[in-house]
Structure 1
């Protein structure tokens, strides 16, 4: 197990709204990259999409799900090496789908997101030899 900790007082919260047509994942990356902090996480998110772009667990291909869709869950971390974000959406009939958020999910009316940004911490994603994936690692910095 690896980990890093910081004081709650070192966390700054930022509320942002992505407008219609914005790419959800790219928008979050742009907002995070514009901040001085180098470690972040999604604290809350609501909104709607015209299309979701998800990579399902264990699958290599990205699925595009046509909307209208409601964002019912978005969680993940933002690092200097990129994000790891999971999205859950509800379809117009109430069924839900979820997976890794990929580029191409487009905001329908709004995406209201609260990010937690940690000062004095750096999130990175080195390749873990045990999994072969870029996994979260944190350090003071």
Structure 2
């Protein structure tokens, strides 16, 4: 495992930035171990929902975690607004960095992740391929 600390800049889209990490590093599997920072608006898909929930205003990232594959990231995040209300869910495009996002990524050189249709869930789910057998 190789760790990669990142700092995202104001104006970057959180999901898009993390989607590019594997290609930038020449890797095929990774995990976001943790992330903190601030956003200016966010889009989440809450549990069981099919539509996005928009979170407006200045918000804090309390926690961010997920897997990274060449097929795209699968990220979950908990956020707090200025009144301290907390919401969490699946990270969608449209989460714009306000001041910073400090993220620790673990790259897994002995693995390759793909997302493939899963009959049980109805979604494309993580499949782990090992390079060492």
Query: Residue 26 of structure 2 aligns with which residue?
Result: 36
Distance in 2 of aligned mates of 1:33 and 1:66: 31
Counterpart among 19, 25, 37 of residue 9 in structure 2: 19
**Pairwise mapping of residues 63-82 of structure 1 onto structure 2 (< 5 A)?**
63-82=53-72
Q: Tell me, in whole angstroms, the C-alpha distance in 2 between the residues paired with 1:82 and 1:55.
A: 16
Structure that is richer in strand per residue: 2
State how far apart, in whole Å, the 1-side matches of 2:65 and 2:71 are: 17
* Cα shift readout 1:73-128 (whole Å, capped 9, x = no counterpart): 11110012111100110111111001100000000000111100001200111100
1:91 aligns with 2:81: yes
- 110, 114, 132: which one pairs with 1:124? 114
For 2:63 and 2:22, the matched residues in 1 are separated by 19
CA RMSD for the aligned pairs? Answer: 0.9
State yes or no: 1:115 paired with 2:116: no
Runs of at least 5 residues in structure 2 that lack an aligned partner in the other structure: none
Deviation at 1:64, TM superposition (A): 1.3
Determine which of 29, 32, 37 is the counterpart of 1:47: 37
Q: Distance in 2 between matches of 1:41 and 1:48?
A: 20
Given that 1:37 and 1:120 are in contact with CA atoms closer than 8 Å, whether structure 2 keeps it comes out as no
Secondary structure of the structure 1 residue equivalent to 2:25: coil
CA distance in 2, matches of 1:44, 1:61: 25
For normalisation by structure 2, the TM-score amounts to 0.95
Secondary structure of 2:18's match?
Answer: helix
Task: Give SS of 1:34's match.
Answer: helix
